[in-house]
Chain A
Amino acid sequence: MAAGNGAQSPVFHGMSSHYIEFAPDQWTQLGDGEIIYQGAETTAGGASAVDFDQATVAGEGTVFFSIPLADVTPGTYEWVRSSLTYQNYEIKYKAQGFNLTGRLASFVGFNTYISSHTIDNQTVTVNANKAQGYWAFETAGQVSSGDAAQTTVPNPISSTSPIPAGSCVVTGQFAAPLTITGNETEDITVVLSLSTNNSFEWSDSAQNNIFEPLAGDTVVDMGLRGLVPIIEQ
């Protein structure tokens, strides 16, 4: 976390990913591995963008996507790469002396076409592409929105397999490589454990680590802080 910033670990309600790839090793370039999942895109807003209307939003511990193992190329995979596009979570903040909570919808994909989205109870109509960092915040029935300047994207193999700027592709390593033989008789479950550790970060004008948007604090970074893929067989 940069000096002068505050951060908190939000309480998640849901997330969405646009792209999931298994990479054999640290030398595998983005897109050269086994692409397990790729979400829909649209040009309704001009440039190609993630189609949020068709995005799958998954909550804690739920199945995000399933594919027949017969459709996965047999091999040994050490890394998982996931392009995150959307987060919905609760954060704590302070305003006019009161400690409060609110719900944040956070769009961290490279570019997302949003017709409308519901934060908690309020629905926001957009009908446009939104670049990485767009957020909308709901509290007490009121909605505000803005854009974060940066998005943290952990990539432990950046020296050998970098990702394009703005892609929000998070990279994580299996504790032991995942081997697909093609002869499996039972299901395999891979849990994508995403780190929410201090993942909501703001410029903290009072230097008290309390998010106070009415006192000049601004959202800086909403990127998740890591990915640990876990095999459950």
Chain B
Amino acid sequence: MKAILFFALGLVILVSSCKKDKPEDDQTVNNGGQSQGPMLHLNTSLTVHKLV
């Protein structure tokens, strides 16, 4: 009887754990799919040059 109870408890914990994982997986996929489109980058160059 105890073995059956432990087995049932383990099953409940396993199912519960799987349900928690699912939304996190979905969230990760959604974030990765976002795009800001083309970007303007401003780079710096610090060099010795004479200006006209």
Given the interface contacts A66-B39, A68-B36, A70-B37, does A15 sit within 8 Å of B48 by beta carbon?
Answer: no
- Establish whether residues A69 and B42, one from each chain, have CB atoms under 8 Å apart when the complex forms: no
Chain B, range 1-52, C-beta contacts under 8 Å to A = 36-51
Interface code A183-194, partner B: CB below 8 Å = 1, 0 otherwise? 011111111111
Task: Please report the C-alpha to C-alpha distance between residue A191 and residue B45 in the assembled complex, in whole angstroms.
Answer: 7
Across the interface, which residues of A come within 8 angstroms of B48, CB to CB? 9, 195-197
Separation in Å of the B1 CB from the closest CB of chain A? 64
- Establish whether residues B45 and A63, one from each chain, have CB atoms under 8 Å apart when the complex forms: no
Cβ-neighbour of B47 out of A69, A154, A188, A196 (below 8 A): A196
Separation in Å of the A69 CB from the closest CB of chain B? 5
- Establish whether residues B45 and A193, one from each chain, have CB atoms under 8 Å apart when the complex forms: yes
Task: Please report the C-alpha to C-alpha distance between residue A78 and residue B45 in the assembled complex, in whole angstroms.
Answer: 19
Cβ-neighbour of A63 out of B38, B41, B49 (below 8 A): B41
A-B contacts, 8 of them at CB < 8 A, read A58-B43, A62-B43, A65-B41, A69-B39, A190-B43, A191-B44, A192-B45, A197-B51
Across the interface, which residues of A come within 8 angstroms of B44, CB to CB? 15, 17, 58-62, 64, 191-192, 194
- Establish whether residues B38 and A188, one from each chain, have CB atoms under 8 Å apart when the complex forms: yes
Task: Please report the C-alpha to C-alpha distance between residue A66 and residue B36 in the assembled complex, in whole angstroms.
Answer: 11
- Establish whether residues B45 and A36, one from each chain, have CB atoms under 8 Å apart when the complex forms: no
What 7 new A-B contacts, CB under 8 Å, besides A17-B44, A60-B47, A61-B45? A15-B44, A180-B40, A190-B43, A193-B45, A195-B49, A197-B51, A225-B51
Q: Which residues of B does A touch, CB under 8 Å? A: 36-51
CB closest chain-B residue, reference A87: B46
Given the interface contacts A193-B47, A197-B48, A228-B49, does A68 sit within 8 Å of B37 by beta carbon?
Answer: yes
- Establish whether residues A187 and B38, one from each chain, have CB atoms under 8 Å apart when the complex forms: yes
Across the interface, which residues of B come within 8 angstroms of A20, CB to CB? 42
- Establish whether residues A186 and B45, one from each chain, have CB atoms under 8 Å apart when the complex forms: no
- Establish whether residues B50 and A195, one from each chain, have CB atoms under 8 Å apart when the complex forms: yes
Given the interface contacts A69-B37, A225-B51, A228-B51, does A15 sit within 8 Å of B46 by beta carbon?
Answer: yes
Across the interface, which residues of A come within 8 angstroms of B43, CB to CB? 58, 61-64, 189-192, 232
Cβ-neighbour of A66 out of B42, B46, B50 (below 8 A): B42
